[in-house]
Amino acid sequence: MSTWFILAGSAAVVVLMIAAAAALGFRQRARLDEAEISRFAAAEGLNVEQAAIGEGARSAVARLSGGKILVVRVMGDGLSARVAPASATRIGLRGARVRIEFADVGFPPLNLQFNDAPPAWLADLAQGAAR
């Protein structure tokens, strides 16, 4: 009989934890838009020259003033960003997909998927970065 009490108590605690997580907003999702990209650029003291948000609005890339590149991705309920000189990135294009890798391994590569072809400025940047 005592095992039933332990099982019922455990189930009650699990339900309580799920209710607390729901109340705290465990289903919230970060939103990636032009305003967020501009906010990250401003935090670096730079301006956004051009930006592209990938399909599903879960990742983005922007060309910043000063020859820098900003990549932003949704990670859980927050956003993660990285700013680097364009010369420290490797950009690969394959159809509607773009892959941006950094010279160091501290930030994983960013994979962007677009509905159509990537923006022309991004293709130009990829050709320039490849030289």
pLDDT per residue as tens digits for the range 45-59: 999 999 999 888 889
Instruction: Give dist(CA 70, CA 102) in Å, integer.
Output: 11
> Would the CA dihedral through 101, 95, 77, 14 be positive or negative?
negative
> Right CATH number for 34-130 from 3.30.70, 2.40.160, 2.30.29, 3.30.910?
2.30.29
Band of residue 1 on the pLDDT scale cut at 50, 70, 90: low
Instruction: Give dist(CA 100, CA 113) in Å, integer.
Output: 12
Tell me, yes or no, if the pTM score tops 0.95.
no
pLDDT, position 27: 63
pLDDT per residue as tens digits for the range 3-41: 888 999 999 999 999 888 877 776 667 778 899 999 999
